[in-house]
Structure 1
Amino acid sequence: MPNHPVAPVGTPRVLVLADELPPGLAEVERVAEVLCMPEARLAEELPVAEVLLVWEFGTEALPAAWPADGGPRWVHTASAGVDKLMFPALNDSDAIVTNSRGVFEQPIAEYVAGQVIALAKDFFGTYDLQRDRVWRHRPTHRVAGSHAVVVGGGPIGRATVRTLRALGIRAQLVGRTRREDDPEVGLVHGFDALDGLLPEADWVVNAAPLTPQTQDLFDAKVFARMKRGAHLINVGRGPSVVEEDLSAALESGQLGGAALDVFRTEPLPADSPLWQAPNLLVSPHMCADTIGWLDDLAEVFADNFARWRDGRPMRNVVDKQLGYVPVDTVTSPAAVGGNR
C-alpha cells in the first residue's frame, strides 16, 4: 500500500447510511456527490460508491449488501466501537475503516465519574427516600482515596483514568499489553494482571472494545474475585458482561452496586431481570451523547474526508485484525485511501 492515499479522480460518490442526511456535511457536499441511503437501497448503490459513512451505526444491513466486486474504498462509522460494523467480507477487503475517536472520550469519562460519586454518596437512595418523604440520616463513602481498575487501554479508558484521578481516586489502567512508562497514565497493566488487581478495587470500569478477550469477561468468577461491596460500571460493550451473573452478584451483595449503559440486547427488553436488580442503574446507551454531539461526529468525518481527498494520512484508522484503533495511532501513512 502506498505511503499516501491516491486522491480520487473526478467527483467522488459518498453514501450516507441514514434515513436523513446528517448536519455538518456542507463542505463534503461542495466537492462530492453525497447520497443519503436507507438500508433498503444499500445493496444497489454500494458497488459504485467510493466512500460509505455509516451514520446509523447500529445497522445490521451491511454484510448482506456488501458487493462481491467493487465497493467503497473507505468506510467510516459515526461510533467509537466497530464490533457491530465488522464482518468477514469487509475485513478481507482493501477498504480502509475509520471510526469517530475523539468525540466520546471525555463525555464517557464524565459519566463514569458521575456514577462513582452517585453510588458512593447514595444519591439514588436519597431520591427514593425523598419520594417517600422519609428523613433518614446515614453515612456514605468517601471517593478520594478509593481504588478503581479501568479495563480498556484506549482513549476512553485513558480519559476515565485521568478524570477519576482528578477526584483523588487511585485509578489503574488495564490494557492489552503492559507499558511501563506510558506518557499519559504511567504504568499500564497487561490484561494478565486483571485477576490480581480485582480484589483491591472499589470500582471496576469496563471501557474495553468487544473482542474475543473481552466477550463474557465479567462473569461469576470475576465477580467472586472482586472485593465484597465493590461496584461495576460498564461503558464498553454489553456482551462483555454476563447479565445473569451480574444480577446474582447484586442480589447476594457480592457487588454493592452497578451502572450499565450498554447491554446484550438493546433496547433492554421490558422483561429483563436487570430492571429490578438491586442497586443497579440502567441508562439507555447514552453516556457519550452530549448536546452538539452530532455536529462533532460530522466534523470528524469531514476532516477525514478532506485528508482522503487530498491524499494525506487519515485519522482514526481501525486495525481490522485487532478490532479497534491502536492507542498510539493518530494518523497512519499506511492506512489510507487508494485504488483497489
Structure 2
Amino acid sequence: MTAAANRRRPVVAALYREALPPRLAEIEELAEVRLTKADGMAKALDGADVLYQWHSFSPALKENWEAASSLKWVHVSAAGVSQVLFDELVQSDITYTNSRGILSRAIAEFALGFVLDLAKDTRGSFRFQQQQRWQHRVTRKIQGQTVLVVGTGSIGRETARLFHAVGMEVDGAGRTSRPGESDFGRIHSSRDLAGIVHAYDYLVLAAPLTDDTRGLVDAEVLAAMKPTAHLINVGRGELVYTGALTEALTSGSIAGAALDVVHPEPLPEGHALWGMENVIITPHMSGDTEDYLDDLGKLFVDNLRRYCNAEPLENVVDKSLGFAARPEPSLPSPRHSS
C-alpha cells in the first residue's frame, strides 16, 4: 500500500449561506464533507481538519472558535480576509489561504472600464441618447495619462498591465517604496500619498484592507490631488473616508470618482454620492464574471488535492499582515495553539 492510500481522508467543514459550494462532487472524492450553515458550525467543526469558508465573510468561525480544536487549515473564497481574521486565529498555527488571483483580471478590466467611462463620458452620451439628442463634443484620451495604483499585489499588477497596454504611464504604491519594475514605473510608499498624488491623473485603489490601509485616502490626500484627477476604487470601501470624498467631489477639488466599493455597503439610500453626475457607483461586482464561482471552487479543489498529498498549499496568507504577501507556499501545521 502507498503512503497516500494509508493516509486518512480529511474532514472538511464547508460553510455556505445559500448556494452550495461548486465542484462539490470533486471535494467529496477527496474528503469527508460536512456541509453547514452558520447555525450548525460548532457541530461541523468538531473533529474537522479543514474549514472551507464558501460563505466568505461569515463570523461563524470566530463565534465557534472553541469547537475548532482539530482545525489545521482554513480556506476563504475571497481575496480580502480582513473581515474574518481575529486575534485567536491570527495567533494560532492554523494555515490560512485565500482566493488571491482568481478575480484579479476581471477586476483589472473593470478598473480600465471605469477609466474609459470617465474619459469618454459614456454616461453623458447615454443621457443624450435618452433625450434623442445629437450632441457633438470632445472627450479626453487616456494614452499618456498618469496613473498611481495603490496596491501592488495580484489585482494591482493586472491593472497596471492593462493600463500599460493602452498607453498609460503607471506607478504603484505599496507598503514600502522600491525601484520600478516591469509592471510599475516606480513604487512609492503608500504612507506618502499626500506628497505624490498631485502628479497623477488617476488614483486607483486596489489594496487589501488592513490596519495600515484603512482610511488611507483621507481629506489631506484628496486635497493634494489634481482638480482634474479621478479616484477609482476597486479595493475596499474603507480605504477611503467617505465623508472626505463626498466633500472633495462636492467642492470640485477632484473631477470625479468611480466606486465599485464604498463604506458603508450598501451605500444608504439618499446619500449624496448617489446623485452626483461625476460619480459612477457599482455594487461591489468588479470581480464577478459569469464563471467566477466555478473558478473559485476549482482553486479550493486544487489546494485540497495538495493538502491530501501533503504538498505545499497555494495562496497562504500572512495572518499578521492580512494578505498573501509572499508567493512561497506552506504546509499546514498539525494543530492550532491553545
TM-score normalised by length of structure 1: 0.92
Letter of the 2:319 counterpart: K
> Are 2:15 and 1:12 aligned?
no
Q: What is the CA–CA distance in structure 2 between the aligned matches of 1:224 and 1:76, rounded to whole Å?
A: 40
Q: Following TM superposition, by how much is the alpha carbon of 1:184 offset from its aligned partner in structure 2, in angstroms?
A: 4.3
Whether the 8 Å CA contact 2:9–2:32 is kept in 1: the answer is yes
Query: Is the contact made by 1:250 and 1:278 (CA closer than 8 Å) also made in structure 2?
Result: no
- Residues 168 and 281 of structure 1, relative CA distance in 2, 3 Å threshold: same
Specify the alignment match of 2:39 in structure 1: 40
C-alpha displacement of 1:187: 3.1
Q: Distance in 2 between matches of 1:338 and 1:247?
A: 46
1:126-157 C-alpha deviation (Å, 9 max, x unpaired):
11121122222221111001100000011111
Distance 1:20 1:234 in 2: 28
Deviation at residue 193 of structure 1 after TM alignment = 4.1
Using the alignment, how far apart are the partners of 1:118 and 1:319 within structure 2?
A: 36
Count matched residues.
331
Match of 1:138 in 2: 137
Q: Which secondary structure does the structure 2 equivalent of 1:221 belong to? A: helix
Equivalence map 1:1-340=2 (5 Å): 9-18=7-16, 19-67=18-66, 70-180=69-179, 182=181, 184-185=183-184, 187-326=186-325, 328-329=326-327, 331-332=328-329, 335-340=330-335
Partner of 1:3: none
The 1:173/1:73 distance shift into structure 2, 3 A limit, reads same
Amino acid in structure 2 at the alignment position of 1:336: L
Q: CA deviation at 1:192?
A: 4.0
Cα RMSD for the two superposed structures: 1.9
Q: How far apart are 1:21 and its partner, in Å? A: 2.2
Q: Which amino acid aligns with 1:216?
A: G
SS of the residue 2:66 aligns to: coil
Distance 1:97 1:315, change over 3 A: same
Q: How far apart are the structure 1 equivalents of 2:315 and 2:236?
A: 19
Single out whichever of 103-112 and 251-260 deviates more from structure 2: 251-260
Q: Does structure 2 conserve the Cα–Cα contact (< 8 Å) formed by 1:24 and 1:298?
A: yes
| Conserved? CA contact 1:251–1:278, under 8 Å | no
CA deviations on 1:56-80 (whole Å, 9 max, x unpaired) are: 1122333112226614210001001
Counterpart AA for 1:10: R
- Letter of the structure 1 residue corresponding to residue 334 of structure 2: N
Residue identity in the other structure for 1:13: V
Instruction: Provide structure 1 residue ranges, at least 5 long, that are not aligned to the other structure.
Output: 1-5
Cα 1:255–1:8 shift into 2, 3 Å? farther
Give distance in 2, aligned partners of 1:43 and 1:291: 33
CA deviation profile, 1:140-183 (whole Å, cap 9, x unmatched): 11100110000001111111111101111101111112232535
* Cα distance change, pair 58–115 in 1 and its aligned pair in 2 (3 A): same
Could you tell me whether the CA contact under 8 Å between 2:119 and 2:141 is conserved in 1? Answer: yes
